[in-house]
Structure 1
Amino acid sequence: MFTLGPAEWQAIEVTFRLCLYTTIILLVLAMPLAWWLAKGRSYARVVVQAVVALPLVLPPTVLGFYLLMALGPRGVVGKTLEDLGFHHLAFSFEGILIASVIYSMPFAVQPLTEAFSNLGRRPVEVASSLGAGALDRFRTVILPLTRGGFVVAATLTFAHTLGEFGVILMLGGSIPGETKVLSVLIYDHAEGMNYAAAHSLSLMLLIFAFITLFVVYSITRRFRVASV
């Protein structure tokens, strides 16, 4: 029977940090962007929506390749950082965090955009007419009425980050304690014909994925029933 060793626990720790940081960063970044996409009137929204959704159809290796070119020692970002005395971002945790934020962005922006769209203008207008400031409107009106969208966005972002492989491998490689996440470790086990370890870790991720989808659909159903 396969038991988790130091390499597995190390990969779990790196994966959890990546998922947690990605989720927090994306919720902060996606909130104003989703509000603008839901409430704005600019024709530029279509372009922004297409850019945000691009990771859904773009092969992960393509995104990983271009990020490697940009963040590596010869890239615009990587070379600039090295000229300033810093290290380039390829094959680093910071690099795969940037890649993860970009690759998982649709899973945070789209649920929040739908939640803000379903909110309508009336609750916010009423709160504004009663003298509530922007922060009060968000805290007492917008957040309670759209909390389902935030939960779905956070859950999907965390789960999607957990399963990222191609973009991580292209940009980060397989460095223990730095860029070797669970998906990459499973690949390494399979490549080394250690199928027992690969099966155990894959089964663990499969169960987690099922639970995540069950939670998301349950939350979505609950809030749809509540809004009827």
Structure 2
Amino acid sequence: MASTVRLQAPIGQCALLITSLAVPLTGWTLHAVSLHRKLAAARRDPLTGLLGRDGYTAKARQTLARYGDSTLVVLVDLDHFKQINDGPGGHAAGDRVLAATAQRLTAWAGSRGAVGRLGGDEFAVVVRIGAARRELRLTQLTQLLAQPVEVDDGTLVDVAASVGAASPDVLGTTDLSALQRAADAAMYAGKHTGRAVLADRSHATVPSINGRRAGRPGTSTLGRAA
């Protein structure tokens, strides 16, 4: 009997220990799930619902790694946005334009595209588009972004956007930062033209100050003027 008791005591103690550990572990699991949801929500821009810079960067890199040369990195900057904010509709009209732009970019990119708001009126997209369809798709994008936006009082606000794009097969890299720099230079090469600009290797060598510097000659422009 004594031996039986000695064997049962450690087993009971272990069971008690496991039970006592299960309670805080369960609580921690619920806390971790809640924290994960909060972090996921924080990765979204509250106004547009788009991914913030960090969330966009993570998804964009995954898309580039998966599809390689068949991807396109696109930067979008709304033209004369300050005039909309300073106009009769004020910031409410500006917010509506930002939200509408986000919806249009999301629709254009599709469910597998990475669409983010980088800040202010600047947006970025990484999407799978093969070389044969780039010109058509970028033309469609510029036309989509140029459509007027109806604000809360029913007024139509004219919208224009500058678009620059870069692709790994043209630039010889899948590095997101390098592609965005080239797309940024291309976008500023065609600023206020209403045309999408597809970067070539010359845009990758354009020096930049905070990512803002006009592109060099040799630009390829796509789409129609807004």
Q: Which bin holds the TM-score, normalised by the shorter protein?
A: under 0.3
Q: Name which one, 1 or 2, has greater alpha-carbon Rg.
A: 2
Taking structure 1 as the reference length, the TM-score comes to: 0.26
